[in-house]
Structure 1
Amino acid sequence: MKIAIVGAGWAGLAAAITATLAGHQVTLYEAARTPGGRARGLDATLPNGRVVRLDNGQHILIGAYTETLRLLRTVGVTTDNQPESHGETALLRLPLTLIGPDGQGLRLPHLPASLPASWGVLAAVLRHPSWPWRERLGLLRAALRWQAHGFQCDEALSVAELCAQAPTRIGPRVQAELIEPLCVSALNTSMHEASAQVFLRVLRDALFATPDGADLLLPRVDLGTLFPEAALRWLSARGTTVHLGQRVRELQALQGQDLTLLACPAPEAARLAHEQNAVWAAQAQALQHTVISTVYAWHPEARLRAPMLALPSSARHPAQFAFDRGQLDASGQSQGLLAFVVSASTGEREDIEAQVLQQAQAQLGLTLQAVQTIVEKRATFACTPGLSRPLATIAPTLWACGDYVAGPYPATLEGAVRSGVAAVQAWGEGIVPSAGKPTAQ
């Protein structure tokens, strides 16, 4: 079959790889001159004149990103859990640690694969150095209750409302130091506005499914090198026609295809699909979006106590996480470069940058120079309670994929990858998704 895919972000690339493996003839269109969408590499110059590769937003993966890891291996990227991998790999795997500038916080132990994942959560909570015992036990009671209910809850609940439910209320310290950071990093939405059902699904897969599901997988290379560029090489070697820097202005230009798959951002997909399905287009267009800002800052001797730190955040100090790119970059070119992530970001670029530099001084004792501040205004959709997301099917020969399409995950790399894989597989099997059966399983 002939398949045209519009968009070479992570969803579009996942769809192209899946279609190619199934023996289809794929043509890939991307409006930008580089692939990767909202997770790609870009060049920057440090104050000392050294050129480094940044990302258009600091991302991490976790062990539960099984489809993303599978596709990385498919296109030849060496991941940490391959038997043949030796020395440096593209990802640094660490047990989940949410430690602050003082080195204190939650640390999940490394468990053998034969043990239940919940044992790691139990051990980490009980060993937490500063949470009151009442709050530790309250969190464990809540987790047991969520697990007993299959990690299902009322679709109308927010994460904050879930935490306030009797008889398993979550204490204020646990909310501030665990629930809120996890919620804002996974859903890019504050716990007072975020969907409790989606949050529980993320917790289930990350913390309670497999012992290594919560492991942090920190990229040791820029995001473009990690997947998009490797995927394009793999696709080109197998006959895929790739058009970079070519925007599809109307679907008539893609006539003669057995399937056109829109893997572009929701507003662009809505524009292209309007004539075919105005209702679908209106639903995609109505999605609200949230912002992620990444502030890159540098000092020649800057070094964090760990590759990733959780930071106390507030209106004056907005960053939730800091990453030490020098500890991650195997080439050594990024020594002294830190990345500060502000999820659910508000305010102007200059104000965010100034606040983060002040935060670095106040919380880390570091006087840094700003390198670049990247504000992704449509980084994710707002993952709110009861949100109705567009289905993958628009018309018989017109489908969509992307992290915003109906599915169990929020706007993450894994959500994007799974939607691309699922759309091609469902179309190939003649499955038409319904509201009760989202495309990404």
Structure 2
Amino acid sequence: MCDGKQSFWERHQYKFFRYGHIYASIYGQVIIDYVPQQPLRPALKALLIAYSHVFSLMLIVVLPCYFGYNYRWLMATDDRRMQLVLYVSFANTLIKYATVIVTYMEIMFKFKASNQRCTLQRVSLEAAFDASYHGSRWPMKSFEKFMYIKFGLINMMMITQVCGIFAVAGTVDGDSDGGKLRFQFAIYSFVLWNYTENMADYFYYMSSCVLKYLRQLHVQLHSALGQLGRLAPYSQRHPMRRGMLLMKCCRLCDRIAVLRRRFTQIHALHLGSMRMHQVQLLGLMLTTLINNLTNFFTIFNLLATQSMAGVPFPIVASGLYALCFYLDTYIVTLVIEYIKTEQARLVLTMRRFCDYSSLDLPNLSQEVEHFSLLLMQYRQPMLCGLLHLDRRLIYLISVTAFSYFITLVQFDIYLRITK
């Protein structure tokens, strides 16, 4: 890596990663470790794994049975419009619950091997680029920016949800069983969200690393292109010059071969990460759809039933959470799109090597052809073979959520008229 003063992220990144590992362990996901720094003691590891199973089974079996048994009281209210809000919120939590089940099953059966493989690939690539990359710091700065944005969004969503839970607690009547249950259910929904979000954050980190490596690879490929351009003076028919040309050409061929192998490693990391998280990501898309719908309708209900002077806090909190949740999902798809764009830019750069075909270097032409064919065969991985994870999917989710929101508003108007 190029020398210079370390950025704030480079000085403190291991503290962020440590914080992420501890936070994931609290929610029973000890297996999520962004940058393993030191192995856990066997006794502590066994204890944390046992805790993760107990915690997950509490979320998946015990608490759903408790809320299912008290479902009638959970939804009990004299206001039919309020009951519609409760039903929408319950559907939101149900999608989170289904995603948690899938996440737990993935962790149980195949996440450990996939995670270890991806972690080793990422560590290997990080070490390779640290040793060989001496170009622009732009890829690293862009990576840091994405990390800061994600960290800010996650903490903002946590704060707004905690504020929402306290707002629910403030409206609970001491003698109301339904109010107490709704307060407990709000906490349960918050924990479910954190459980699924930990996996989404881990996927985002892996994808951001892939994007950083592709950009660093592109800078190195540009450097190789510049070296090829400087070989033109050696192409004259002179024995000494021709010998120098062949020697430099061999070095350049070796360099391009290294970059080609590195691209294969980056692609394997991206593909492995997508396969490891594809079911959770599909659940995240459904959760985003229902969350957008829930947040729209909650804000509408607050605006329709209360004055802005009366309850500004719930409206602002709901609106802020809706915006942060949408941006959080959007930025995940944005990183995937940037990966696709960087891939297209690599293809265009490889085509520029053909401008120097007059140098008559068969070995170099063969190596460039191999790299170009590898890039052309690359295909963006799909979620469960169904969907491409890009911004178009987020736009579709937003439009669908808004359509369902209009339907709920019509129900709300009908209930208000028939009161």
Report the TM-score when normalising by structure 1: 0.22
Higher helix fraction: Structure 1 or Structure 2?
2
Structure number with greater Rg is: 2
